[in-house]
Structure 1
Amino acid sequence: MSAADWITTPVDAGLLRGALDFERTARGVLPHRLPAWARKQFPDQNLAMMEAQPSGVRLAFRTRATAVELDVLPTKTAYQGGPARPDGVYDLIVDGRLAGRTSVPGGNLHTIDMATWSATTTPGTSGTARFAELPAGVKDIEIWLPQTEITEVIALRTDAPVEAAPDLGRRVWLHHGSSISHGSTAESPTGTWPAVAAGRCGVELVNMGFGGNALLDPFVARAMRDTPADLISIKIGINLVNTDLMRLRAFGPAVHGFLDTIREGHPTTPLLVVSPVLCPVQEDTPGPLAPDFEGGKLSFRATGDPSDPGRLTLGIIRDELSRITTARAADDPNLHYLDGRSLYGEADFAELPLPDALHPDPAGLRRIGERFAELAFGAGGPFAEA
């Protein structure tokens, strides 16, 4: 195909879904999952990286095109001393079905030293995600961006005109969680457990899962308060334990404050609080977690003292979340609680163990998404359609 056959369409808010904000760059646009005002309120570079990784973010448009190209500049992450990570994946969805999958090699490389959490970035070159031989006729297309690669979108080219995908009237599901929700170990962006659940249940996903950063930050609660949503869930606990961020005395008031802030903008929206899935190394042992690269494979171990009063464990957090939501539900009938072990528990761990002692593998994430679809969206669930 010659250059004259391509149509270039500017990427703007009308084509982006799942992003709360986007930043115009010298080359194109950079999607963000936290708004600009919130990004000014944290100095943490790890959260800055995580919110810019576009988990759940996709381009959505309607077209007759049979060929699509997306020029991007990815920023990939590597951990010093750890094994090389595979290139991120771009998923092409045509009329609701997976129709293509590709990767873009190269790009910037962001290398993190997990001992000190210092990082360096080596500049790289842009590349192109290509999809060809698509079915003829008008169709709705989504290109899901890699969930673990910061992705600067430079240009969208097609061999037929593009218009923004129509609003199909689907409910919007806003979710906040940790790296498990972010999908750090998913095989592709539609393989994260929130994407699996959203696809099964026909809802529009806004994924605010931030690896290592589900920490009850007030600016996250305010961002959720201000984001239109028909359904809201928060999955909290694991990061509070593995960072050893707070003690029991601070945890309860922080949960209340987070929920109070969300309710300021969504007073009657179904709101589901989800406790951590099973993670044996932190069930009864506090953090912080320490990385271990023994044998060239990353794993984690808990280093806290279980006898130290007030330290948080997953067991303590589940008890507190159950207690808090039960008490609040007396005045808030649209508030619900789900024990995370119903999504991934002891039987699941025996069948699909955590490869690094912390994160489920791709099959485990799919199972969590399928279970959530059943328990939250199924008959009698808090997100079931009336």
Structure 2
Amino acid sequence: MTSTQNTWTSAPITPELLRGALDLERTERGLLPHRLPARARAQCADPQLAMVEAQPSGVRLVFRTRATAVELDTLPTKRAYVGAPPRPDGVYDLLIDHRLTDQAVVTGGDTLVIDLATGTAENRPGPVGTLSFTGLPERAKQVEIWLPHNETTQLVALRSNAPIEPVPNSDRRVWLHHGSSISQGSDAASPTGTWPARAAILAPVELVNLGLGGSALLDPFTARAMRDTPADLISVKIGINLVNTDLMRLRAFGPAVHGFLDTVREGHPTTPLLVVSPLHCAIHEDTPGPAAFDTGALSTGQLRFRATGNPAERAAGKLTLSVIREELARIVRERAAHDPNLGYLDGLDLYGEADAAELPLPDQLHPDAATHQRIGDRFADLVFGGDGFFAVERA
């Protein structure tokens, strides 16, 4: 370490240093990134949505510096499920000049203890933790610290042994994506290991990830947030949450999809807009929801889901993944006749029945780390590569 890098300096955490968040809330203990704006949050009192939109999937600190050491104080909120094995700590990914260089975790923080049997949750407060990255190359470089995709993270302080400065807006295209917990990154190994992050890095594009666990429900406030967010490319992955929450019937589904797309189009009339149907999920291919925790598996310390609907209920308009794929393909085909910048991708092309035989969903619902990588690679190839819908050549 040179003499110019023996002194630690604090850098204010400003909006200019953050990417991937739509709102920043100043709390008593730090700065909390949100992936939905305050207006949207005020229109829904669902605690599930409140939890996941504050989990910073795709949110990262980006700055330039010559520092060889960087520290970040954070206050994470970790989740623990009564009767289930402990969850691993959220991972922070360090990228230098767009390359993954190091990973770390933060101990301490608050813990949200969830009892699935009773539906109750208790918050147990804990201390601020410190993340430390050392041995960085002593040269001017772009540094990115990707925050955990599945752990609420309040940013408290940022320090380095050389000055930090914001990075001007990238000339890369901005990709705005909305989907379920799979898009948020459930069971991915790290924040850059979620399938949207992997696809974005391979593309390469700037990601704004509105993957919201359990909350890809065609909510109007989410559509308005997307309408008002600057983007060069937009995708919406629709289906699994509508089935596993048993939220609506076929009669409501079509108009809700049209309304969601209409709202997005109000702010992005000609932006490439890709509709993605559900990945293969055996429990819901032909069986409606709702999904439920498998209490038998939970008693043995395993977290697993099952479908509780009856396949015969499809006749009454209950949704399954196969029904949703058919409807989405029809809707996009009809709209594309007057919207040439609207496209469709069958989710089975990203993860189909053959993939499930090779890489089964561990909890019957969410992909593991290897499967996230496969989905991200395929999305990058099919959508960003060659003559894909988001390919530069096509634009």
TM category, shorter: over 0.9
Q: Give the Cα separation in 2 of the matches to 1:4 and 1:378.
A: 45
Distance 2:204 2:22 in 1: 20
The answer on 1:92 being equivalent to 2:94 is yes
Structure 1 unaligned blocks of 5 or more: none
Aligned-residue Cα RMSD (Å) equals 1.3
What are the residue-to-residue correspondences of 1:20-99 with 2, within 5 Å? Answer: 20-99=22-101
Residues matched between the structures, number = 386
Of 343, 346, 356, which residue of structure 1 is paired with 2:350?
343
- Partner residue of 1:300? 305
CA shift at 1:83, angstroms? 1.4
Counterpart residue type for residue 297 of structure 1: Q
Q: Matched residues in 2 for 1:171 and 1:129: separation?
A: 30
Displacement of 1:82: 1.5
CA distance in 1, matches of 2:55, 2:330: 34
Match of 2:160 in 1: 158
Where does 1:230-309 land on structure 2 (aligned, <5 Å)?
Answer: 230-292=232-294, 293-308=298-313, 309=316
Q: Are 2:376 and 1:369 aligned?
A: yes
Query: 1:184 maps to which residue?
Result: 186
Deviation per CA, 1:243-294, whole angstroms, max 9, x where unpaired? 0000001000000000000000000000000000000000000001110214
Taking the aligned partners of 1:294 and 1:311, their CA distance within structure 2 comes to 30
Q: Distance between the aligned counterparts of 2:254 and 2:113, measured in 1?
A: 36
Structure 1 residue 157 displacement after superposition: 0.2
| Amino acid corresponding to residue 309 of structure 2 in structure 1 | G
Give the deviation of 1:77 after TM superposition.
1.1
| Offset, 1:118 | 2.5
Of the three residues 317, 323, 346, the one matched with 2:330 is: 323
Q: Distance in 2 between matches of 1:57 and 1:70?
A: 15
Q: Aligned letter for 1:163?
A: E
SS at match of 1:14: helix
Q: Secondary structure at the residue paired with 1:296?
A: coil
TM-score of the superposed pair, with normalisation by structure 1: 0.98
Partner Cα distance (1:83, 1:60) in 2: 34
The answer for the alignment partner of 1:141 in structure 2 is 143
Aligned mate of 1:129, from 128, 131, 141? 131
- Following superposition, which runs of at least 4 residues in structure 1 exceed 2 angstroms of deviation? 1-4, 113-118
**In structure 1, what is the equivalent of residue 361 of structure 2?**
354
Task: Work out the percentage of aligned pairs sharing the same amino acid.
Answer: 67
Rounded Cα–Cα distance in structure 2 between residues aligned with 1:333 and 1:128: 49
Aligned letter for 2:301? Answer: G
Residues 1:18 and 2:20 aligned together: yes
Alignment of 1:169-248 (within 5 A): 169-248=171-250
1:142-196 residue CA offsets vs partner (Å, 9 max, x unmatched): 0000011100000000000000012230000000000000001110000000000
Query: Is the 8 Å Cα contact of residues 61 and 145 (structure 2) preserved in structure 1?
Result: yes
Q: Can you give the 5+ residue segments of structure 2 that lack an aligned partner in the other structure?
A: none
Counterpart code for 2:129: G
Distance 1:197 1:4 in 2: 38
Q: How far did residue 27 of structure 1 move? A: 2.8
Query: 1:281-308 deviations in whole A, cap 9, x for unaligned?
Result: 0000000111021421111110001112
In the alignment, the residues of structure 1 paired with residue 13 and residue 392 of structure 2 have an alpha-carbon distance, to the nearest angstrom, of 33
How many Å apart are 1:370 and its aligned residue?
Answer: 0.3
**Counterparts of 2:43 and 2:121, CA distance in 1:** 21
8 A contact 2:83–2:299 mirrored in 1: no
1:80 shift after superposition? 2.1
1:104-136 deviation per Cα after TM superposition (whole angstroms, max 9, x unaligned): 112100122224432111101110010001001
What secondary structure is seen at the aligned counterpart in 2 of 1:75?
Answer: strand
SS in 2 for 1:290: strand
Letter in 1 for 2:176: L
Amino acid at match of 1:299: R
Moved more, 226-235 or 25-34: 25-34
**Residues 192-225 of structure 1 deviation map (CA, whole Å, 9 limit, x = unaligned):** 0000000001100000000111000000000000
Given that residues 74 and 130 in structure 2 are in contact (C-alpha distance below 8 angstroms), is that contact kept between their aligned partners in structure 1? yes
Residue identity in the other structure for 2:302: K
Paired letter, 2:354: A
Equivalent AA in structure 2 for residue 371 of structure 1 = R
Q: Following the alignment from structure 1 to structure 2, what is the Cα–Cα distance between the partners of residues 121 and 142?
A: 30
Measure the CA separation in 2 of the matches of 1:103 and 1:324. Answer: 44
How far did residue 58 of structure 1 move? Answer: 0.2
Counterpart residue number, 2:318? 311
Q: Match for residue 383 of structure 1?
A: 390
